[in-house]
Structure 1
Amino acid sequence: MNLFDLSGRIALLTGSSRGIGYALARGLAEAGATIVLNGVSADRLAQARERLREEFGEARVHAYAFDVTDPDRVTGAVERIESEVGPIEILVNNAALQHRQPLLDVSLEDWNRVLTTDLTSAFLVGRAVARFQIARGSGKIINVCSVQSDLARPTIAPYTAAKGGLRNLTRAMTAEWASSGLQINGLAPGYIHTEMTQALVDDTEFDAWLRGRAPAGRWGTPDDLVGPAVWLASDGSRYVNGQVIFVDGGMTSVV
């Protein structure tokens, strides 16, 4: 299945030292890609790099610690990766955080923190990488959205606003960059069991609600996202552009 072979391609994944980002990095590496991990914790990033190097070899796993919300550091890191590792042919914008609090109580500081991390970072990293991809006439950008790109629940308004914005940023990138040979799409996980959602998994009431709400009847796992990510990163999706692919166990398909 050569359409899905990523051998020889370089993929940068933001927020990939753990959770969904780590699973996607491992999945792209299994498909043949050379992966570049990113995170703000140098120690956690180094641990993730070493685990993956044990599996895929030193030459195919790299790590760069930088803040995806800092424009200068983003530009500098992307330039270094292009120079030291090679052309970034695949970008996965995964970095995100959550803040749970009633909307009337959310501080402007917390609102801005979530919006900057979950939305503005994708603009900053996406634009920095796209400058190189446009010059080469090809590239893949995958923005990790959410079911909250289309839905809302109480107490997560900043996250919902950011992920809704990311859906439309994906469309805006497509409108401007598809003619230069880029494919920009969104991957929208449903409720995935990770460190970020552990408190919800442990909440028996929420856990029961989720299992009843999703037709699949279970939480998703990070590995459930790997196949769709490999497809979006590969030649198999070369005429797919501006789409958001929901991987949610059917949650957004039913009422």
Structure 2
Amino acid sequence: MKNALITGASKGIGRAIAFAFAKQGLNLAICSRNGEDLTKIQEELLEANPEIQVYTHIADCSVKQQVIDFAANAEQQLGFIDVLINNVGVFEYASILDDDEDAFLRQMNTNVMPAYELYRYFGKTMRDARSGYIFNICSVASVQPTTTAGTYGVTKAALYSLSNIMRLEMQEHGVKVTAILPGSTLTESWAGTDFSPDRFVSPADVASAIITCYNMSSGANVDEIVIKPVLGQL
């Protein structure tokens, strides 16, 4: 049985991805800062597929050592990590000139650093095994920045660039890397919105795209997928 590790998996896109891989029959390692949320989703995942293992770990992914601890414990519990989904992220609505003093480091340490560290941690074993798949949840803002979320766009562009480098480093070793660039997606970030759900991408749409990539033949790699609302960005 294969194993998948997902950062920030208790809500939104990460949650949808976790259920999608559970239905595929993969064991899961998931993390969140909230222990109650983790307990709840663990129960729901095991109800969805009682045949899998679900390892949960409380971690603040903006802290490097907590990211490394999560990786090490997940590997110890499940073994070789076949699929790495770098999902954790934070969105902050502000222009760069209006950012608070810690905005840049806070977003870099959440949107980029965990993916970098987990790539360094698991990438070597994937390379040596000539097996594995890495998904990086970037954003449309990676390639179409907006001044209303300036630093977010900068950090997601960095993650997108990191994903491209991962793919180039790994392609000769047979390890797949895909960047996912969702547009406006109906997650907790839009809580209380007056917009209809039809104006958004669904987290399930993102998860479905990932599973489609995952199930392709061993010779195929999807470099990136852009998913936007059919009526345009919000």
Instruction: Give me the TM-score of the superposition, normalised by structure 2.
Output: 0.90
Identity %: 25
The answer to whether the 8 Å contact 2:181/2:227 transfers is yes
Note closer, same or farther for the CA distance 1:238–1:118 as it changes in structure 2 (3 Å cut).
farther
Cα pair distance change 1:196/1:58, threshold 3 Å? farther
**1:248 corresponding residue in structure 2:** 228
Q: Is the 8 A contact 1:78 1:128 kept in 2?
A: yes
Q: Give the conservation status (yes or no) of the 8 Å contact 1:74–1:128.
A: no
Post-superposition Cα deviations, 1:93-135, rounded to whole Å, max 9, x if no partner, equal: 0000111123211123012101210111111122212122122
Give the C-alpha shift of residue 89 in structure 1. Answer: 0.2
Counterpart position of 1:163: 156
Amino acid at match of 1:244: E
The 1:250–1:87 alpha-carbon spacing in structure 2 relative to 1, beyond 3 Å, is same
Q: Which residue of 2 is the match for residue 228 of structure 1?
A: 209
Q: List alignment gaps of at least 5 residues for structure 2.
A: none
1:61, distance to aligned residue in structure 2 (A): 2.1
* 4+ runs deviating over 4 angstroms: none
> 1:159-191: CA deviations, max 9, x gaps?
111111111111111122222221111111111
Give the Cα separation in 2 of the matches to 1:127 and 1:21: 21
Cα offsets for 1:186-238 (capped at 9, x unmatched): 11111111111225x33xxxx48xx9xxxxx6211111112211123334364
**The structure with more helix, counted as a fraction of residues:** 1
Paired with 1:136 and 1:21, the residues of 2 have a C-alpha distance of 26
Instruction: Answer whether contact 2:18 2:28 (CA < 8 A) is retained.
Output: yes
- For residue 42 of structure 1, the aligned residue among 16, 28, 35 is 35
Aligned residue pairs: how many? 233
- 1:78 matched to 2:71: yes
1:10-21 paired onto structure 2 within 5 Å: 10-21=3-14
Please list, as runs of the form range in 1=range in 2, the aligned pairs for 1:17-96 lying within 5 A after superposition: 17-57=10-50, 59-96=52-89
- Report the TM-score when normalising by structure 1: 0.83
CA RMSD of aligned residues (A): 2.2
Tell me, in whole angstroms, the C-alpha distance in 1 between the residues paired with 2:60 and 2:122: 15
**1:130 and 1:222, CA in 2 relative to 1: closer, same or farther beyond 3 A?**
same
**Deviation per residue, 1:40-77 (Å, 9 max, x gap):** 22221122111211221274322122233333333332
